[in-house]
Amino acid sequence: MDSIVVTGNGPLSGQIPIAGAKNACLTLMPATLLSDEPLTLTNAPRLSDIKTMTELLSSLGCEVSSLQDGQVLVMSSHDLDNHVADYDIVRKMRASNLVLGPMLARLGHAVVSLPGGCAIGARPMDLHIQGLEALGAEIELRDGYLHANAPNGLKGAKVSFGFASVGATENVLMAATLARGTTVLENAAREPEIVDLATCLRRMGAQIEGDGTGTITIQGVDRLGGATHPVVTDRIELGTYMLAPAICGGEVECLGGRIDLVGAFCEKLDEAGISVSETDKGLKVARKNGRIRSVNVTTEPFPGFPTDLQAQMMALMCTAEGISVLEEKIFENRFMHAPELTRMGAQIDVHGGTATVTGVERLKGAPVMATDLRASVSLLLAGLAAEGETVVSRVYHLDRGYEQVVRKFEGMGAKIERVSNR
Ligand code: EPZ
């Protein structure tokens, strides 16, 4: 099992390329199930989660070709020969549940294992089920699998989500493209990954309006064709790398970064004393003069502060001046990075969904353990500025969502290496 060793090495500088979005690619790939013509994705990220989705789609009979070192994915669902998404794959990655809506719409039936919980929460699927049943699906939970049937096809309907769930919006949006008639999604998720999915579906012939707002309207069509679509920039990878110069000092340019993808996040960086400027290549980030100031953060659905950047922001707040209160409103257990940061000398008090961070002058390197994808990278960020050496173990979590993470941090001048069996 690999570890990553990082040593505080002063201010950073350099240009970092930002990859295509993991969370866009994981919903764009299942969209191939909606059509018998090829779907090609460019700017795809090279991540283990993409490999897992490839494995799942292949198990259903899709042909998936990975070209140009994994940055181009060519998929064909012409010959689907299996409609069961097996537990062994689904339990590895919750996003596997995004094959449910498209498979049901295309084949009229689908059997998808419930993903089960994960480190950050129970991750139920009640909103996915509610939305698909509103379109006429009959869904039964049996032996840990959702058995979904739409013997007469799907019919457009109004679906009001009790919570703006990203995955439920994606599953129902994809299913609705082939439903008879009109579907209106109310309190739909507004994330950029939803807009990216809708853009790709329109390229395939779908009729969708309102994506990016809370109300999405879909006119069902008889069939969808093939398309070629570039995966949108990864706003979570972007925000993560923007925090590196914020924590260490220096100036870094994130190539491909777009301010519209990280609006609420940049407001908090500005409040904390970090400058973000748009360049013709992306976003340039530098610490303004003096120590970082503590800020309060509450995670919310887009366009609010993203839960996927909460752990990374906490790493910044550990050495900020003052007291910062971070409220995690999206997941029930997303502070597992806190005790690890405490091992490095951070002062963090967690009560339920609220973490109170009292800034200290500097953290001290220590052996720490990665527990989930975003917690892992927050420990790396903390280690970049800590005094001495930090060894982050179980870094397989990182490989799920950060391509070439060591090389990218090295590209900024960080002292970092990946070691095996540490
Ligand atoms: C997506 O997960 C992302 N994953 C997550 O990123 C991200 O944290 C999350 O959206 C919120 O932005 C992918 O896109 C692959 P949700 P998803 O449905 O779709 C509850 C990362 O680090 N809920 O918006 O699962 C749920 O339990 C990952 O890249 C229900 O109660 O998120 C959670 O508390 C982590 N019932 C909240 O809503 C449901 O039917 C948010 O879930 C569905 C969700």
| Ligand 1: residue whose CA is nearest its atom 31 | 124
- For the chain, the average pLDDT equals 96
116 has a pLDDT exceeding 90:
no
On the question of pLDDT at 119 being above 80, the answer is no
Contact in structure between 200 and 170 (CB atoms under 8 Å) = no
Q: Which residue CA neighbors atom 19 of ligand 1 most closely?
A: 167
Query: Among residues 204, 213, 19, 176, which one has the least CA distance to residue 102?
Result: 176
Query: Who wins on pLDDT, 84 or 288?
Result: 84
Q: Is residue 127 lining ligand 1, measured as CB closer than 6 Å? A: yes
CB of 128 sitting under 6 A from ligand 1: yes
Count CB atoms within 10 A of the CB of residue 42: 15
- Distance (angstroms) between ligand 1 centre and the Cα of 286 equals 31
**pLDDT in the model for residue 242:** 98
Q: Which residues contact 241 (CB under 8 A, 6 or more apart)?
A: 16, 18, 252, 254, 408, 412
Residue 24 confidence (pLDDT): 98
pLDDT attached to residue 118: 73
What is the per-residue pLDDT for 265? Answer: 98
Confidence of residue 44 (pLDDT cuts 50, 70, 90): very high
Ranges of beta strands (E only) in 23-153 are: 39-42, 63-67, 72-76, 84-85, 109-113, 138-142, 145-149
In this structure, the residue with its CA closest to atom 43 of ligand 1 is 125
Q: How far apart are the C-alpha atoms of 415 and 139, rounded to whole Å?
A: 52
Q: Is 305 in the pocket of ligand 1 (CB under 6 A)?
A: no
Q: Ligand 1 centroid to 124 CA: how many Å?
A: 9
Q: Which residues contact 319 (CB under 8 A, 6 or more apart)?
A: 247, 292, 359, 360, 361, 362, 363, 385
Is the minimum distance from the CB of 30 to ligand 1 under 6 angstroms? Answer: no
Confidence of residue 281 (pLDDT cuts 50, 70, 90): very high
Give the predicted TM-score (pTM) of the model.
Answer: 0.97
Six token digits for residue 64: 């998936």
Strands 39-42 and 72-76 turn out to be antiparallel
- Segment 236-262 shows an average pLDDT of 97
Nearest to 151 by CA among 139, 168, 169: 139
CA of 27 to the centre of ligand 1 (A): 12
Which of the residues 25, 62, 118, 200 is marked catalytic?
Answer: 118
C-beta of 95 in contact with ligand 1 (< 6 A): yes
- Tens digits of residue pLDDT in 352-399: 999 999 999 999 999 999 999 999 999 999 999 999 999 999 999 999
Mutate to test the pocket of ligand 1, among 97, 123, 337 (most ligand atoms within 8 A of CB): 123
- The pLDDT tens digits for 155-191 are 999 999 999 999 999 999 999 999 999 999 999 999 9
The answer for residues whose C-beta is within 8 angstroms of residue 156's C-beta and 6 or more apart is 135, 176, 179, 180, 181, 182, 183, 218, 219, 220
Instruction: Average the pLDDT over 261-286 and give the result.
Output: 97
Q: Is the shortest distance between the CB of 23 and ligand 1 below 6 Å?
A: yes
Q: Does any ligand 1 atom lie closer than 6 A to the CB of residue 331?
A: yes
359 with 320: CB under 8 angstroms? yes
Helix (H), strand (E) counts: the chain: 14, 24
Among 308, 398, 400, which is best to mutate for testing ligand 1, by the most ligand atoms less than 8 A from CB?
308
pLDDT band at 290 (very low <50, low <70, confident <90, very high): confident
- Cα 47 to its chain centre, rounded Å, is 12
Query: What pLDDT is recorded for position 387?
Result: 97
Does the CB atom of residue 124 touch ligand 1 within 6 A? yes
- The confidence score (pLDDT) of residue 121 equals 79
Q: How far is the CA of 213 from the centre of ligand 1 (A)?
A: 18
The dihedral sign for the CA sequence 199, 71, 264, 357 = positive
- Range of lowest pLDDT (67-71, 90-94, 218-222, 302-306): 90-94
pLDDT at residue 168, as a whole number: 98
Indicate if 62 belongs to the active site: no
Q: State yes or no: pLDDT of 276 exceeds 80.
A: yes
- Report percent pLDDT > 70 for the chain: 100
Residue 167 CA to ligand 1 center (angstroms) comes to 6
Q: Separation of 165 CA from ligand 1 center, angstroms?
A: 6
| 163 ligand 1 Cβ < 6 A | yes
Q: Which residues pair with 20 in a beta bridge?
A: 233
pLDDT of residue 289: 78
**Which among 6, 30, 25 has a CA at the least distance from the CA of 237?**
25
116 versus 419: which is more confidently predicted? Answer: 419
